[in-house]
Structure 1
């Protein structure tokens, strides 16, 4: 597919190279000619000088036949304007914008434009690497409403069912990883101590759920 990238900084250049290695047709837009040096001599895609929200520049980059658009410049305003033009004016089906301000990212998510909120994502990633045993939150949606948790089960949960865990916690088991194999379990499947259990829940319930599964299940 054809992918257009707005912004040829380190992220844009890295993304362009990765996409091209996967066999995709890539065009990169940047207003600074010198920025294209980051692409390297192995890059064979299009290099278009200009701003990513200019109609003529986008047409030169092949937006009319693009299947995806990524706005990854250093400016939130430029990224979101470019993303909206790609989505609303040219009807590009897959559009993603990098946003530094997490509050604004949540707003644009509600408008139907997926965003990567750089600072919160980086912070969460560092926390998981620095204190992996103390952080069970694996993902949170930009509005802060829904969370994906990795549950460190108490030993006594062994052989209890997925349905029991869901009933007690109010969370939904999204998937279970067992000995390197990941699957979506049935409600009558039994849990094992080797399982890494991931559940989707409301962010407000995170602490209560973590406390519940760290103890023996009631009624055992």
Structure 2
């Protein structure tokens, strides 16, 4: 798949390299040609000099064929403008924007653009917004057969409640991160796009859990 990255700073270069090494096609945009020096010599992706929310630069980067877009420049306004242009003008729904001010993140989420505040920033978090990744172990008990996992919830589960998820799979939802803030879910809490979900489950059930989280519940047929 093809992905477009805006901003070739430390995070943008790392993200572009990681996606490329995973076999994806990548184009990275930056106003400063010298910024591309952060990319390794082995990087095979496209380097586009220009403004990340400029139509010409985006089209040169192949945005019309993109499966996802990440705006990770050093400016909040540039990132959110670029993310909205890509989403609203080019119809790319899979976008994420880096935000330095976590208090503004919730406002931007209302525009339908998932954000990642810098205070909790890692390349892994952006990758999890763009492409499917395996569950990540965040806590493992030394004796109990249980772990806390950071998992991705597929589109079929969006709009469904935590109660539905827990009744369908052998897990408990420990907490969510939504708009940069932690949420202790109730049974009635509805899963939303951009939620970072942590679950408690047994390692022996993980393969089943990951498959069903990605594909959604199987509808009963008569």
Query: If the length of structure 1 is used for normalisation, what is the TM-score?
Result: 0.61
Q: Does the 8 Å contact 2:17/2:43 carry over to 1? A: yes
CA shift, 1:142, in A, is 1.3
- SS of 1:82's equivalent? helix
Query: If the length of structure 2 is used for normalisation, what is the TM-score?
Result: 0.61
CA shift, 1:2, in A, is 0.7
CA shift, 1:62, in A, is 0.8
Q: Does the 8 Å contact 1:29/1:51 carry over to 2? A: yes
Q: Distance in 2 between matches of 1:92 and 1:24?
A: 17
CA shift, 1:144, in A, is 4.1
**2:38 aligns to what?**
38
Q: Does the 8 Å contact 2:117/2:180 carry over to 1? A: no
CA shift, 1:40, in A, is 1.3
Q: Which runs of 5+ in 2 are unaligned?
A: 123-137, 139-173, 190-197, 210-222
Max Rg structure: 1
**2:200 aligns to what?**
176
Query: Runs in 1 of length 4+ with deviation above 3 angstroms?
Result: 169-172, 179-184
- SS of 1:92's equivalent? coil
Q: Distance in 2 between matches of 1:176 and 1:50?
A: 44
CA shift, 1:103, in A, is 1.7
**1:16 aligns to what?**
16
Q: Does the 8 Å contact 1:139/1:147 carry over to 2? A: yes
Please show how residues 104-119 of structure 1 align to structure 2 within 5 Å. Answer: 104-119=104-119
Change (3 A) 1:179 1:91: closer
**Residue 103 of structure 2 is aligned to residue 79 of structure 1:** no
**1:64 aligns to what?**
64
**1:141 aligns to what?**
178
Q: Distance in 2 between matches of 1:70 and 1:103?
A: 20
Q: Distance in 1 between matches of 2:72 and 2:80?
A: 10
CA shift, 1:77, in A, is 0.7
Q: Does the 8 Å contact 1:71/1:80 carry over to 2? A: yes
Please show how residues 151-170 of structure 1 align to structure 2 within 5 Å. Answer: none
**Larger CA deviation: 175-184 vs 112-121:** 175-184
Q: Distance in 2 between matches of 1:23 and 1:120?
A: 27
Aligned-residue CA RMSD (Å): 2.9
Q: Does the 8 Å contact 2:17/2:39 carry over to 1? A: yes
Q: Deviations over 1:51-102 (max 9, x none)?
A: 1011111111111111110000011011000000000011112100000111
**1:206 aligns to what?**
none
CA shift, 1:180, in A, is 6.3
